[in-house]
Amino acid sequence: MFPLGENAKIGVAAPSGVVDPVMFAKGMARIRGVGWAVEADEAVLGAMRYLAGDEAVRKASLLRLARRQPDLIIAARGGYGAMRLLDHLSCEELAGLPLFMGFSDATALLVRLVGLGACAIHGPTVQALATASSETVDALAGLFTQGFFPSPLGAAWEALVPGEGGGVLTGGNLTTLAHLCGTPFQPDFSGCILALEDVHEAPYRMDRALTQMRLSGALSGVAGVMVGECLHCGETMARDAVFQDIFAPLGIPVVTGGRFGHGATNLPMLFGVRVELSSDTGFRYV
């Protein structure tokens, strides 16, 4: 799977919201600046209200791109819309996709792929790359050329709940995960390490999302939690208290300081593989 190889091809699809053409062009330029061939599907800049086309258009775009057999498909942007595709894409169609990368709204596709036994990359969309930090771009370059995934925990990570655990890495955007609860596509997170992030959600709304996940059974058997950047989500102490309240009774490690999410630094993570998380030693792939 990694590294992608000297002649690797990258494709871009838009499974979610309407793409900003200016920001998209800047993101594409940064990918090409790393030295990789990237091609967007013809429907990427489509629009239907707040979506990049209706379900038929966005599904056809994704599958058309997959038939070209790129080594990696990157989501053009987040926004909203990926979960609307879940009951339009069969298990066979999803499992047949090339390696897929995205975050935020693309969480719906990431956790579905992991649930089917595939790997996926939680990492920046093309539009997000327009304003991403050089560290993020360098991390992608290292991933493509060396197959190296940096630790998503920064030097300033802290333990909110002590402990250690291991499991399959998955998760993503908290609000999107909560909205999947109670649907046929509610993820099974038992035996998993959850990476969680969000943006523009007050602490009480994060509490509501986590409580919905808890009450639905989605958090049953979770082995650990790694909290990434929660951008514009209220005071840090209030946010941390929410995660402590929800997860401390489960007796699993919870650490904060993950360098992934909606900020300028969004380090790529490989979902679907086993990792270990410790309140003492941090995170590592195994």
Express each pLDDT in 59-84 by its tens digit. Answer: 999 999 999 999 999 999 999 999 99
Report pLDDT for 2: 73
What span, in angstroms and rounded, lies between the C-alpha atoms of 242 and 145? 39
What span, in angstroms and rounded, lies between the C-alpha atoms of 134 and 179? 32
Average pLDDT, the chain: 95
Residue 249: asked if its preceding bond is cis (omega within 30°), the reply is no
Q: Do domains 9-146 and 153-285 have the same CATH topology?
A: no
Distance of alpha carbon 245 from its chain centroid, rounded? 24
Query: What's the mean pLDDT in 207-225?
Result: 97
pTM exceeding the 0.75 threshold for the entire prediction: yes
- Give the residue numbers annotated as catalytic, written as ranges: 104, 197, 262
Token couple for 168: 């399959």
pLDDT in tens, 124-163: 999 999 999 999 999 998 888 888 899 999 888 999 999 9
Domain 9-146 is found in CATH 3.40.50.10740: yes
Q: Which of 284, 102, 111 is nearest to 185 (CA)?
A: 111
Please tell me the CATH code under which domain 153-285 is placed: 3.50.30.60
Instruction: Write down the domain spans for the chain.
Output: 9-146, 153-285
